[in-house]
Amino acid sequence: MKKLFEIVLIVLVALCLTFVFAAPPQANKASPAKQTQKPGEAPQAKQTSVSKEPVYEFLNPKGIPGPIKVQALAPRLDTIKGKTIYVVACEAGPQTGPFLYNYLKAHYPDTNWVHVQHNGFGPTDPKTEGEMLQKAHALIGGQSW
């Protein structure tokens, strides 16, 4: 039993020393020409000058995000009197969207209210979306579940 304990201890010490004193991986400074890969093909391994082990390159399954265009919010309206405001009820039940539209129309009669029932998360009708962009001074969009 004592002999087994000594052997296990020596192996553990050897492993620890290997991890402590092992050389850190070095970055590949000379990048070889990229190989083209056809869709459905397995990625090709390429040899690096530092290591004898192959290095595999994979594409990120989330894709490569494009640049983000930061845009300021539209300025607040000083008054809603005489303005056109769209009430877009996305995924709202048949009670929520019309209720909000009717409430706003009754309490703010000097404002042109336009109700759009939209059953989805994104744009579905380019004609309606384009009309909103051209005619609306403001938009109230909502979700309700």
Give the C-alpha separation, 116 to 87, whole Å.
6
Residue labelled with tokens 């000083």? 78
β-bridge partners, 88: 116, 141
β-bridge partners, 90: 118, 143
For 32-77, the pLDDT digits (tens) are 445 555 665 655 656 556 667 888 888 888 888 888 899 898 889 9
Give the C-alpha separation, 114 to 98, whole Å.
11
pTM: 0.47
